[in-house]
Amino acid sequence: MDYDTLTTSIDDAGIAIVTMARPEMMNALNKQMRAELTHAIKTMAPKARVLVLTGTGRAFCSGQDLGDGGNAAQIDLERTLREEYEPLLHAIYDAPVPVIAAVNGAAAGAGANLALAADVVIACDSAVFIQAFTRIGLIPDAGGTYFLPRQIGFARAMGAMLFADRITARQAADWGMIWEAVPDESFESAWMARAVTLANGPTVAYRNIRRALRASMSNTLDAQLALEAQLQAEAGKTRDFKEGVLAFLEKRPPAFEGR
């Protein structure tokens, strides 16, 4: 399907790439882009082994397009969040394969939190993350109050949200907000190498790691141990487990099939 605000691709290795393509607006999220992102991710992820979300131009995503739909102060914010942002965030968070946010530039407001919904965030050194909401008298949304304190702790999340400071990619990596910051000149090759690794890896194991880690934030120890046993039993029945053991014994790289 062709999109007006995105470009999409998927290669033979199962690497799906969704690129926000409103560079003249710093990839700000208007109603059409939110709908197209949700559709593209939900359509492509089941066909892929890894999905990459990135942007064009000097921004990853600058957040809500305040010029979309007329007077921004008259937008029904609750309806917009419930009906447009929540499906998009769930499309990313609930994707059946690992999702990489390749942050090519500024990620502000909802754009920052869109990135934080991914499983792995890789940013170029010149990227910045800004919880910009208080600059226009709002609270962080698009999942920010859920994701950020889990990633960097309560105190840092509170400061980032109250002050709306620019957080550099290197600082974000040091804080644990993102996986890694890489030099701008090697940014694309860096995230593509990570995508290739995941595309060639054991898909069921990856899915179960995501389930286990997310559950661990609210589980008791006993509940988490039970979940580990359940998910490990599932992974142990896959062809990938048999192949992994055989490859180890034969001292060769495994050829995982994702089953």
213: domain CATH number?
1.10.12
Distance of CA 181 to the CA centre of its chain: 15
CA distance 39 to 3: 10
How many structural domains is the chain composed of? 2
CA distance 4 to 33: 8
Distant-in-sequence, close-in-space partners of 101: CB < 8 Å, separation ≥ 6: 52, 53, 54, 60, 114, 115, 116, 117, 118, 120, 121, 122
pLDDT digits (tens, 9 = 90+) for 60-108: 999 999 887 666 666 788 999 999 999 999 999 999 999 999 999 999 9
Considering the domain architecture, whether residues 238 and 194 belong to the same structural domain is answered as no
Considering the domain architecture, whether residues 62 and 113 belong to the same structural domain is answered as yes
Q: Please count the other Cβ atoms lying within 10 Å of the Cβ belonging to residue 118.
A: 23
The answer to the question of residue 256 being in a domain is: no
Task: Tell me what the mean pLDDT of segment 13-37 comes to.
Answer: 97
pTM of the entire predicted model? 0.94
| Contact status, residue 109 vs residue 166, Cβ threshold 8 Å | no
The answer to the question of residue 255 being in a domain is: no
Beta bridge partners of residue 101, listed in sequence order:
53, 121
The answer to the question of residue 10 being in a domain is: yes
Nearest to 142 by CA among 69, 211, 64, 74: 64
Task: Beginning with the edge strand found earlier in the chain, give each strand of the sheet holding 50-55 in spatial order.
Answer: 6-10, 15-20, 50-55, 99-103, 120-124, 180-182
Beta bridge partners of residue 103, listed in sequence order:
123
Q: What average pLDDT does the structure give for the chain?
A: 95
- As a whole-number percent, the residues of the chain with pLDDT over 70 amount to 98
pLDDT at 257: 87
Supply the CATH number for residue 120's domain: 3.90.226.10
User: Which amino acid, one-letter code, is at 215?
Assistant: A
Task: Beginning with the edge strand found earlier in the chain, give each strand of the sheet holding 166-168 in spatial order.
Answer: 59-61, 106-108, 128-130, 166-168
Nearest to 122 by CA among 180, 52, 51, 198: 180
Task: Tell me what the mean pLDDT of segment 176-204 comes to.
Answer: 97
DSSP string, 62-113: --B-TTTTS-GGGS-HHHHIIIIIHHHHHHHHT-SS-EEEEE-SEEETHHHH
CA distance 152 to 68: 32
Distant-in-sequence, close-in-space partners of 246: CB < 8 Å, separation ≥ 6: 254
The answer to the question of residue 76 being in a domain is: yes
The answer to the question of residue 1 being in a domain is: no
DSSP tag of 57: T
pLDDT at 70: 63
The answer to the question of residue 122 being in a domain is: yes
Distance of CA 75 to the CA centre of its chain: 26
Is residue 258 pLDDT above 80, yes or no? no
Considering the domain architecture, whether residues 125 and 240 belong to the same structural domain is answered as no
Domain that holds residue 207: 203-250
Q: Please count the other Cβ atoms lying within 10 Å of the Cβ belonging to residue 58.
A: 14
Is residue 232 pLDDT above 90, yes or no? yes
